[in-house]
Every structure is written in structure tokens, then in C-alpha cells.
Structure 1
């Protein structure tokens, strides 16, 4: 499992960023293992971090997302030369839909960490900080911000999630709140 801690050696790669709004540099652990176990609410500690594997955002991904959502804005399309179909695009080239980035982030986050998630409660404070370009390589940095008991068999976990590019830019970030199951077994009380 790709966990990061405060005691991580300094020689691990640190991606610098020119994005002043990100609170901390993104620390990338070398030779990080794959997740192998399901984590329950009792296993999660505030401050723990995980990394997803890298994923490329392709023009085909963007076209499929356009087909799925019906969002065919020229900002998200290119001509045969790879140029934006939107004249005078503010980005100079085609960009992926912001919600495609958020959806990819949600997918990559399901295994990093592999939590015993019961439900998504909310997404909040979401910021689309930089565009996601066609061909961009992205990954997710997830950390636990808070845990709060929720009934006898779960906890509300607030996660801070960032979609980052391989050049160190934070593309999107915000909070997800999920219900995560407990691994404790509860016995029914006799009536």
C-alpha cells in the first residue's frame, strides 16, 4: 500500500510546484507497493497520505466523456493537427473537462487507499486550479483530514484529495467525505 508518513526519508522525490495555493509539496515515495488490504475506519489516522498510480488523460478519454455527458464545447476538442477548435482558446490548446478530471480522481482514489467505503457523503471546497491537457499524466494524492464516529458501525472520514500532474502542478483539489465501515463486530443485545 502506498502510505506516506511524516518520518519518510528526505531523499524521496519531492515534486516542486509553482502553484502557491497548494499547502505542501507533493512527496512521492519510490518503489511504493500496491495496496493489499482493506482499511476500516479504525485503521485510518489523521495526516496519513496515499498515492495512486499515474494515468494518462487521452483525447479518446475526452471524446468518450463528451459522448457520455453531451458536453461538446469546442474547448474540449481538437482538429487534425491537435489544435483547439475554439478560436483564441485561453489555454492555447484543447483541455479535458473539469469533471472528467474529478471523475478520474474519484476512480483512482478507490484503491489508494482501499477503504471499506459504504457511501459518498459529500464533495466540498473543490477547486479547479489548472487545466488538464490532452496527454497529461496525472495521479491522486489522498490524505485523511478528520475522522468522526457515525453510529456504531462506521465513521465519517474527511479526505483531502489532489489531482496532480507529473510536472508538479496541482490541477484540482478539495474534500471528499465518505462513510467507512468499522471492522468491529457487534453482538446483538438480548431483548
Structure 2
């Protein structure tokens, strides 16, 4: 996916504003110890791979890693900072998602997003569906998670 950065939108894009090939890169965010502790507490996932440094040192990762679903949650937040969905997205319809590499405490991640499909609703003329190819990368440009997100948007008018 070739990449470029754009300024955040003041208001969201409508279905009619999207075209295949449009790309965005989110702001970056460093994953902290506090993020890991908060996600473990919120989710109830206290797997020692995330919460026990001595246990995690003996794994293939050599230390604790951040929860995979936690990275997905952070990615949705980073992507929202682009503003492309502000006030125009109707629903997040689904995803096809793969976790390809661990994210460690101290890693800095960002979201790369590209429109891969745009289709008007056949049953409701006031909306359409946009599919995005999405990658979460770390500071070394390694892909940590990737897949597709499908979102329903309002049409103009």
C-alpha cells in the first residue's frame, strides 16, 4: 500500500466522496504500560503473556506484549482522528482481521487505510458501503495487524 498523510477532516466524508485508491495515514501513538494495565483491567484478560514479565521473558516474544484486541481498539481510535467518519458514518458493519506481529510496550503504531471498494446500497438510496484495506504498522514499518473494515456511510443530499 503506498502511503501519504493528510490533515484530519473537519467533518466526515459522505459515501459519494469516496473512490477506490484514496489513502490516509493516522497520527502515531506509543503503546504504554498504562495502556496494557488499563486494557487488562477493562477486558478482564490477565493472561501472563501480557501481565507477568517473568513468564513472558521465557516466551518467543522475550517479554510482555500488548493484547491483540487492544491494538485493534487503539487502531480504531487512531483512525477516527482522521475525521473521515465524523457525522457521516452510519455503522461499522464488520471486519476481516489478522494479527501478524506482536506489539510491545514502547512500540509506536499508526494506521494506514485505503479505499478498496465502494458500493451503493441497493435497498436504501440514502447510503452506501465502503470497504477499507487497513494496516497497523509499528515504528519499524512492520505490519502488526491488517485486514479490511467495512463501513456504511450516508450519501449527500
Alpha-carbon RMSD across the aligned residues, in angstroms, is 1.6
Matched, 1:160 2:133: yes
Q: Is the 8 A contact 1:50 1:113 kept in 2?
A: no
Q: Which has the higher contact order (CA 8 A, sep 6+)?
A: 2
Return 5+ residue gaps in structure 2 as ranges: none
What SS is found at the alignment partner of 2:156?
Answer: coil
More helix by share: 2
Return 5+ residue gaps in structure 1 as ranges: 1-23, 185-191
Larger Rg: 1
Relative distance call for 1:137 and 1:88 in structure 2 (3 A) is same
2:146 to 168, 173, 185: 173
Q: Quick one: distance in 1 between partners of 2:67 and 2:80?
A: 21
Q: Is the 8 A contact 1:84 1:92 kept in 2?
A: no
Q: Quick one: distance in 1 between partners of 2:50 and 2:65?
A: 5
Deviations 1:59-103 (A, max 9, x none): 11011100011110111125xxxx443352110011000000111
What SS is found at the alignment partner of 2:106?
Answer: coil
Aligned residues: 153
**2:89 corresponding residue in structure 1:** 117
What SS is found at the alignment partner of 1:90?
Answer: coil
What SS is found at the alignment partner of 1:138?
Answer: strand
Relative distance call for 1:145 and 1:84 in structure 2 (3 A) is farther
Deviation (angstroms), 1:41: 0.5
